[in-house]
Chains A and B, each alone.
Chain A
Amino acid sequence: MAKVLMKGNEAIGEAAVLAGCRYYFGYPITPQSELPAYLAKRLPEVDGVFVQAESEVAAINMVYGSGSAGARVMTSSSSPGISLKQEGISYIAGAEVPCLIVNVMRGGPGLGNIAPAQSDYWQSTRGGGHGDYRTIVLAPNSVQEMADMTITGFDLSDRFRNPVLLLSDGVLGQMMEPVNLPEPHDYNINSKKWALGYRGSDKNERNLCSSIFLDNDELEEHNWHLYQKYQVITDLFSKGEYKDFAVEEHLCDDAEIILVGYGIISRILKTVVEKCRKRGIKAGLVRPKVLWPFPTAVFERLAKTASQFLVVEMSCGQMVEDVKLSVDGKKPVFFFGRTGGTVPSDFEILNEVDKLVRPD
């Protein structure tokens, strides 16, 4: 297929349709509104269902229902709306229902503003709602990846029966870049034997989707079951089949300073690395593409060769904690952040690098 110029938000919408998603439930909020607008038009063309819910609370619970009935289903929102969805996400994780949740992050806390931000990292990677659970968190950095990771996200969520969060930001949602759309994917709503309403001939028990385990022992068993699932996922991302998918490294082998950033920041850091190299500074880039499970191993390895790390985020410093945990005190980890909706420029980051590599 020929490339099309699309907004990140629209690319997610089209990719979802191509991935076989026919159900969308959401509530309007900037800067992700192009996505529901796109699907409001597009889903009826493929006999899909678009529902504008009365709130994000309602929307995520519609997703819970649809997902438990076996659908490939998604919702999207931006930071304040994602906060509202946390209760539902906790239920979905507890009941092990697959779904895709898109967060096009904006500035917070509270109503904050509608400008791009990365201040929901903790909320995304630490669960967000109550209870011992995890969501797989994917962090695209281009419009192409908004599309690709939507598809991967659906696949991962189905495979592990776990909610997947696509964590992007206002820039990625609003920007246009050429996209190669993948081939459409057929999805059969009857492919999940555990789903409510599954009608295969091999069905002999009733199916139940629930997160309640009143008996202590049963809940403990369930929580350890979830924990084991999260371990399997972690292993697949750190050394198994998703190892290369999980992280991008750029010029790290001989790097003295490693710049670390995800999402739109990683694009800016790539420019910074190029400029550093031109000036003779041996800089490299590590870009986590998956934020949970965090690509710890890469940092453990690079802590042996590099002499320092600089983490850059559009927040007051959230992912930097995971980098520090991974580097484990072996090398200094520094932080540079802009928040409130400002995207740091390559110049100001370069300036930070200068301060670190040429202290005087």
Chain B
Amino acid sequence: MDVVLDIGISGVLMGLVYALLALGLTVIFGIMDTVNFAHGEFLMLGMYAGYLTYAYLYPEPLAGVPVAGLVGMLLGVLAYTLLVKRLLSGPPIAQIFGTFGLMLFLRYGALAVFGPNLRSATQGLVVAKRLVVGGLTLDAAKVVAAAGSAFLFGLVYLMLRRTKLGLALQATAANREAARYMGIDTDRMNLIGWALGGATAGMAGALLVNFYYVSPTVGMVFSMITFTTVALGGFGSVPGALIAGILVGLIEVFTAQVISPQLKLAVIYTVFFLVVLFRPRGLLGAR
């Protein structure tokens, strides 16, 4: 029972980080039906932004979170204006190849610039610290990353639900043509979606720096999980991303615990496959 609680909490904590990662991807998809294959690389560069801030400016990984948010946002804006926008008039396959190419470019660009080494933060408010809550020992860094993710997720959700811009983004996602007739600059909405996706991925990256290593290929570790989360929650669904993120986190830990650690990704992909097969729109997808 203790193990169940212990493992369960850990699954939820990672799940919240997955949810924040899935958020950016699902928002971009919702707005313009484009899958950003470079999302994991946005995360990776956010991690570098966070790590480099920590290593060269201020020795606290949490200080890197806003920097990584800015870097991520800039990355999203550049990716959209320089690449994706130009591919919009082409067939959907052009967008797939375009963002896939961007993924390779960023990954191998990072390899060239930063080298293959793994870097890790070794000091900071929550780095390698324990948090004891009612007899349970938690990783303080994970708790903070999860809380930060939940907070950012909530912020974006409120923005989408409560502000005029959020409403316009939702309208664009729901019906691009009608949104244009309302006077909404849908092209700008695309841009904002990419900025939002980049910023959330970047900040998730900086939060991860508190307990995760940084390397040019680290995007790979997270991107499959993120895609699965988005598909599970329903492409374009924001609440779906949250629920699916937590679900994936829980499946991951409990598979490792109950079945076998080497099967955990296999089980996640199986669930994903079953959802695609029997409920293609995902758990909460609109379409």
A and B found bound together? no
Which residues of B approach A to under 8 Å, CB–CB? none
Which residues of A approach B to under 8 Å, CB–CB? none
